Chains A and B, each alone.
Chain A
Amino acid sequence: QQQVRQSPQSLTVWEGGTTVLTCSYEDSTFNYFPWYQQFPGEGPALLISILSVSDKKEDGRFTTFFNKREKKLSLHIIDSQPGDSATYFCAASAWTSSSFSKLVFGQGTSLSVVP
């Protein structure tokens, strides 16, 4: 069964600190890994994504790392801000340019950044 496991379930960090969220997966055909950010009362929104041909992608304070051998990915947030407090979901799919593949989501991590 396709699964994506995410940890921790919840996390509190101090403002200015570094946040690290991790995910692991089982299906070796997965090659596309987006992270979605969800604020209370809103739907998730794409934050950053990576394809398996890369091992790192950076966007401002957010960096996602991919380890194909260990089937793991992580999201690092440097200089964490109270405005980063949200729920974060990792996801995975076996993406191709010619066929449909649905996303499998992790369970989510609730992040709280304390001033």
Chain B
Amino acid sequence: GGIITQTPKFLIGQEGQKLTLKCQQNFNHDTMYWYRQDSGKGLRLIYYSITENDLQKGDLSEGYDASREKKSSFSLTVTSAQKNEMAVFLCASSIRDWGGTSAETLYFGSGTRLTVL
């Protein structure tokens, strides 16, 4: 089995600060995702990367940048932290059975909890 490691687990920032969240996976999966989780709003896609050299904006990309450094790692940057912002950022990875019959499964990390003072 594999694991998704997100660092840090807790992140406290100041308003206007640039903050970077990191994600590593050892599944050897092609596709990686960053989601934001807010209470009552489900999971909203920020950025995703289908393969190692790909980067795609999700529905919530404004205010964020992302970087796929290599197949196993995917970073997310909050470009300017908003005062009183609190959210959990979840990284996930998946592998496709191209041409097959199995729809993909996402494997999630345990999240980075962001608080902005």
Q: Which chain B residues (1-37) contact chain A, with CB distance < 8 Å? A: 4, 31, 35
Q: How far is the CB of A74 from chain B (nearest CB, A)?
A: 17
A42 in contact (CB, < 8 A):
yes
- Is A100 in contact with B96, judged by CB distance below 8 angstroms? yes
The answer on a CB contact under 8 Å between B105 and A34 is yes
Taking CB atoms, residues of chain B closer than 8 Å to A93 are: 103
Looking at the complex, which one of A34, A102, A105 makes contact with B42 (CB distance below 8 Å)?
A105
- Report how far A62 CA is from B60 CA in the complex, Å: 32
User: A44 near B43 (CB under 8 angstroms)?
Assistant: yes
- Say if the beta carbon of B81 comes within 8 Å of chain A: no
> Which stretch from A11-19, A45-53, A65-73, A78-86 is at the chain B interface?
A45-53
Which of A9, A41, A43, A107 is close to B92, meaning CB atoms less than 8 Å apart? A43
A34 and B109 CA atoms in complex are apart in Å by 18
CB distance from B60 to the nearest CB of A (A): 12
Dominant secondary structure of chain B at its interface with chain A: loop
Q: Would you call A98 an interface residue if the criterion is a C-beta within 8 Å of the partner chain's C-beta atoms?
A: yes
Interface code A100-113, partner B: CB below 8 Å = 1, 0 otherwise? 10110111100000
Bound together, the chains give a CA A106 to CA B111 distance in angstroms of 18
A6 beta carbon closer than 8 Å to chain B: yes
A6 near B42: Cβ-Cβ < 8 Å = yes
| B48 contacts A by Cβ under 8 Å | yes
Q: Give chain A nearest CB distance to B29 CB in angstroms.
A: 13
10 A-B pairs within 8 Å (CB atoms) are namely: A34-B105, A42-B110, A43-B4, A43-B111, A44-B43, A45-B107, A51-B103, A95-B104, A100-B50, A105-B43
B97 in contact (CB, < 8 A): yes
Contact of A102 among B40, B45, B109 (CB under 8 A): B45
Chain B residues whose C-beta falls within 8 Å of the C-beta of A41 in the assembled complex: 110
A25 at the interface (CB under 8 A from B): no
Contact A46 B106 (CB under 8 A): yes
The residues of A that contact B43 with a CB separation of less than 8 Å are: 44, 89, 105, 108
- CB nearest to A43 among chain B residues: B108
Q: Provide the residues of chain B in CB contact with A42, threshold 8 Å.
A: 110-111
Chain A residues near B35: list those with CB within 8 A.
105
